[in-house]
Amino acid sequence: MKKTLILFASLILLVFFQSSAIAQRGPAASPTATINQAIGNTEMTIVYSRPSMAGRSLATLAPKGDVWRTGANANTKISFNKDVTIGGKALPAGDYSMYSIPGDSEWTIIINKAKSWGTEYDKAQDVIRFMAKPTKSENSVETFRIDLTDFDNKAKDKAMLELAWGDVSVKFPVVVKN
């Protein structure tokens, strides 16, 4: 009986200290965001982490010419429940990772089938690559953002996917079949 009581008390203390340690970590430096968006009759989901500039430069955080996970922490995940055309390239329905290669006059957007973590990019897993033009934003974006903009309200079959951070905005089309 005494051993059981000691074991039970030890378990309670272990749970208490473990909970206290987790609570002291605080909020994530790059919080995770999820976008669930319908474009026409197609469902799109994006899951990514949102790093902040925090006084740093975009060139340091997403170096030009290098593959970037297009966010922070885990690689950015993008999925469609139906076939789409993204950046002018056909993409079958499914779950993918999205990477990018920043540049001055154009960015390379990479849709990759690997389910790897963060910076563990494998070029052999690329499904499609396409180019997108960056533009300078009037307002600086402190915390990285992915958004869907410019919906076609008449045909309801396309929108622009935007990557925005610092003073850079990169948009490319997502087109669906209704």
Q: Supply the mean pLDDT for the chain.
A: 87
Pick from 2-11, 25-34, 73-82, 87-96: least confident: 2-11
- Which spans in the chain are helix H? 2-23, 58-61
6 domain residue, yes or no: no
160 domain residue, yes or no: yes
Q: Which one, of 102, 74, 88, lies nearest residue 165 by Cα?
A: 102
Domain count for the chain: 1
Q: Is the pLDDT of residue 2 over 90?
A: no
Single-letter code of the amino acid located at 167:
D
Q: If pLDDT is split at 50, 70 and 90, which confidence band does 11 have?
A: very low
22 domain residue, yes or no: no
15 domain residue, yes or no: no
Q: Please report how many Cα atoms fall inside a 13 Å half-sphere around the Cα of residue 156, on the Cβ side.
A: 7
The string of pLDDT tens digits covering residues 61-103 is 898 999 999 999 989 999 999 999 999 999 999 999 999 999 9
The four Cα atoms 90, 117, 51, 27 give a dihedral, to 10 degrees, of: 130
List, in order, residues 6 or more apart from 49 with CB less than 8 Å away. Answer: 28, 30, 31, 32, 33, 71, 72, 73, 74, 76
- What is the arithmetic mean of pLDDT over 47-69? 91
67 domain residue, yes or no: yes
Q: Is the pLDDT of residue 146 over 60?
A: yes
10 domain residue, yes or no: no
% the chain with pLDDT above 70: 84
Q: Output the pLDDT for position 86.
A: 98
162 domain residue, yes or no: yes
Considering only residues 18 and 48, tell me which one the structure prediction assigns the higher pLDDT: 48
86: containing domain: 29-176
95 domain residue, yes or no: yes
